[in-house]
Chains A and B, each alone.
Chain A
Amino acid sequence: MKVRIRSPRDFCAGVIFLLFGLCAVLMGRGYPVGTARNMGAGYFPVVLGALLVLLGTVISIKSLMIAGEKLENIGLRPMLLVLLAIGVFAGSVDSLGIVAATTLMTVIGAAASPESRWREVVVLTLVLLGLSVGAFTYGLGLPFKLLPF
């Protein structure tokens, strides 16, 4: 019997909840669980994880029966580039300094939008550099390394 997923969004959501819940139960069991009267560190993780598994299952089953909207496509360009920009910032701010981190992040981030124009990006980068160095590092005294040395 072919099962048709009537609401793909709910189905995916249900699966995600189920997976999170499963992780919680499995990891929670690694800690001392205790009893209801004397709860250990693992009690809540296991109970909540089980609850999440249950909820995820119900949502997924409901999605087979009740119609819902289709899944939208994932816009790869904005998602990947924005996340990359943030990741590059996180990776470089301590090692290469705030100047490099800001520049890289702004350039990569700007690439995420097809509306960006390169001349503007240069000016924007300079403005943001001014802010991160002037306002945040010197003005507010945040302990950023300026340059890679």
Chain B
Amino acid sequence: MARRSASEPGMIMRIANFRLAIGMIIAAGMQPLLAQDYPAKTIRIIVPYTPGGTADLLARTMGQKMAASVGQQIIIDNRPGAGGSIGADLAAKSAPDGYTILMGTVATHAINPNLYPNMPYDANKDFAPIVLIATLPNLLVVNPSTPAKNVKELIALAKAKPGELAFASAGNGTSQHLSGELFKKMAGVDMIHIPYKGSAPALTDLIGGQVQLMFDNISSSLPQVRAGKLRALAVTGPRRSPVLPALPTVAEAGLPGFSITSWFALFAPAGTPAKILIRLNKEAAKAIASKDLQQQWMDQGLEPAGGTSDQLAEFRRIEAARWEKIVRESGARVE
């Protein structure tokens, strides 16, 4: 390159061009922050549970559909632990730029905040709701050798043998545990709670006859009911489930007012720009409405949802209040 003097007009132009170029490069680097060009890079969905569970599968199947639609990769980041709190906390503290979102559940946003005295995040303030993905009830299942064919008979049996019936759960503080505690309180019966590490060992012992009943996630117990290994007495939700239309709800069958629903929703860290939230809501709702996902989820007993972010915000508020009541009344405690 020939040497030039800095005082030449050509050089000044060159410096100005250079600065302009730098400015444009900086502006281009800031593109990801501007909502118009969102998404400009990979989106990360944090799933606060281990791979293979319902939350994880929902995230992966939805994520794949959304990725095809937005033209960017969507990766799943599993951060299990502490009943979902570790992943939720990580998401809450991530940058609110729309590139990190959370697969939240009834546990992370309604149960845990009411159950644990020290939460690392605030379920209300630290998150911006995107969309409700799906809801599912628990299924009240009993071992076939238990002589109760419906909820009323079960309550009668439990009253006749106080402390003798045992109900299994996937762990302390899970919706299955709390369903059982609420049932005990509302029906006025005494049953003993046997916690396990996850649904699978609990179901195994239920089928094996070590325990008598369980309020399990419908997705894991449905196949066993269909195969006759377990008998379903009722669903715990406010409505009957489309996959078992003949089965009454617990409220219909003897305990009016009993209603427990599990749910999954997408959240973004609080402060994420509204334009990005709207875009995410649109894309997610599109994925949720797709025929093959709907079929896949419904086969497992999940009810796809969708809707607006405001609807999710309202839903979460109601759920948080409801679980506050359930936890308080059932007297369940964890350290």
> Which residues does A use to contact B, with CB under 8 Å?
141, 143
Contact = CB atoms under 8 A, between A and B. Distances in A.
Nearest to A141: B75
Contacts of A143: 44, 75, 77
Contacts of B77: 143
B163 to A, nearest CB: 13
Contacts of B44: 143
A65 to B, nearest CB: 45
Interface string B28-64: 0000000000000000100000000000000000000
Interface in B62-80: 75, 77
A31 to B, nearest CB: 8
A103 to B, nearest CB: 23
Contacts of A141: 75
A141 B42 CA distance: 12
A141 B77 CA distance: 10
A143 B75 CA distance: 8
4 closest A-B pairs by beta carbon, nearest first, are A143-B77, A143-B75, A141-B75, A143-B44
A107 B44 CA distance: 31
A98 to B, nearest CB: 14
A32 to B, nearest CB: 9
A89 B258 CA distance: 51
A85 to B, nearest CB: 25
Contacts of B75: 141, 143
B67 to A, nearest CB: 13
Nearest to A143: B77
A63 to B, nearest CB: 39
A141 B75 CA distance: 8
4 contacts: A141-B75, A143-B44, A143-B75, A143-B77
A134 B77 CA distance: 19
B157 to A, nearest CB: 25
A47 B77 CA distance: 40
A20 B219 CA distance: 44
A84 B75 CA distance: 31
A45 B77 CA distance: 34
A2 B30 CA distance: 74
A28 to B, nearest CB: 14
A12 to B, nearest CB: 35
A43 to B, nearest CB: 15
A141 B78 CA distance: 12
Nearest to A41: B335
A141 B44 CA distance: 12
A143 B77 CA distance: 7
A143 B42 CA distance: 11
Nearest to A149: B29
B40 to A, nearest CB: 14
A143 B74 CA distance: 11
A69 B143 CA distance: 61
